[in-house]
Amino acid sequence: MPSEFPKKVVHGGKIQEMRRIFGESLLDVSASMNPFVPEFSCAYNHEDLAVYPDDSYTALKEKIASVFGRDTEEICVGNGSAEIIRVFCKVTDGKTCRIDMPTFGEYGLSARLAGKTVVQNTDADIRFLCNPNNPTGILTPRAEMLQYAEEAEDAGSLLFVDEAFMELAERDESISNVRSENLFVMRSITKCFTVPGIRFGFAFGEPELIEKIETARTPWTVNAFAECYAMAAFDHYAELKESAAKITEERNWYMQELAKLGVSCYPSQVNYITIDTGREASAVRDAMLSHGILVRDCTSFTLPTCIRVSVETREKNRRVLEALAECLR
């Protein structure tokens, strides 16, 4: 265990708490969900709630395997991506983890909780990469990611790739179809189907590592509701290409409008934009709250003057732009 116990990671998406304070009309652009979700119904059988889920999740893994062209032995599932990150860090042997900031905070916390040492910009036993990156939205091309995977093989290290937002960017840049003993690729349906409440993540890796993760995770960690929804969602996975196309169109317009405000943005290729306001991010967040909008303060990402906003529908994006213009005067 770490000598000093780490603190919890700060996350966005605290909309329930914030609406109790600021009212139900508060617009949440802090959590970065898909505003153009495929429409489908998910009917669960109430009798399924009277029995334990199948802890091997055989049917669910077969469904995932059919969508991604992988074997079921290469697939693990979890109660959201966060659980998979935690368990991965627990069962892997590496002592050092390379985590270059800014990026998702759960990598560093999970590594420290597992007694690993976190380093930046230097070689390590395990390297974490978020692609597209959270919070910057920068997408690393597939060719470059393959080079990182090759470097991991040569060094005998592990490469952990988080592709939670890939379906809302450019799925052809994914490396989820690459098999390597040194590569672990994680996915989620939370963002692309806008269902953070069900908590479901999955990942691909070599069978020995997958077996360790499946053994170490909490039994029955994917509940019946989440399993039912995931099974239905994977039948509509191809429709996310249309979502990504709409997001790209809206994001391009959004970034042009932000440039008119005189602020700089990271070159996002996904459904959120990180904006350098040139001011203390917490102050901008508070000012936006006074306009009925919740943005993501990026101070916890080591970006103290930046906020992150999700790409929404045109009407909502206009509302954010108008409020931001007022706050930055």
Domain extent listing, the chain = 15-38+241-327, 46-238
The predicted-structure confidence for 140-179, as pLDDT tens digits, reads as follows 999 999 999 999 999 999 999 999 999 999 999 999 999 9
117 φ/ψ angles, rounded to the nearest 5 degrees: -100, 130
One fold for 15-38+241-327 and 46-238: no
Residue 46 pLDDT level (bands cut at 50, 70, 90): confident
User: pLDDT tens for residues 250-261?
Assistant: 999 999 999 999
What's the average model confidence in pLDDT over 299-315? Answer: 98
Question: Which residues are CB-contacts of 10 (< 8 A; sequence separation ≥ 6)?
Answer: 105, 299, 300
Query: In the structure, what pLDDT confidence band is assigned to residue 3 with cuts at 50, 70 and 90?
Result: low
Is the pLDDT confidence value at 47 over 90? no
Q: In what order do the strands lie in the sheet with 158-162?
A: 75-78, 201-204, 183-188, 158-162, 126-130, 96-98, 117-119
Q: How far apart are CA 195 and CA 298, in angstroms?
A: 23
Q: Measured between alpha carbons, how far is 262 from 308 in angstroms, rounded to an integer?
A: 16
Q: State whether CATH 3.40.50.300 applies to domain 15-38+241-327.
A: no
- All residues at 6 or more sequence positions from 318 whose CB lies less than 8 Å from its CB, including other chains: none
**What's phi and psi for 98, nearest 5 deg?**
-90, 120
Cβ atoms < 10 Å from Cβ of 259: 11
Fold classification of 46-238 is Aspartate Aminotransferase; domain 2 (3.40.640)
Q: Among 35-49, 98-112, 186-200, 284-298, whose mean pLDDT is lowest?
A: 35-49
CA-to-CA dists, residue 136 to 105, 154, 252, 281, 325, angstroms? 13, 29, 15, 15, 21
pTM, two decimal places = 0.96
Task: Give the pLDDT band of residue 111 (cuts 50, 70, 90).
Answer: very high
Taking the alpha carbons of 129, 106, 112, 209 in that order, is the dihedral positive or negative?
Answer: negative
Digit-coded pLDDT (tens) for 170-207: 999 999 999 999 999 999 999 999 999 999 999 999 99
pLDDT of residue 39: 94
Residue 1's pLDDT band, with cuts at 50, 70 and 90, is low
Expressed in percent and rounded to 5, the helix, strand and coil fractions of the chain are: 45, 15, 45
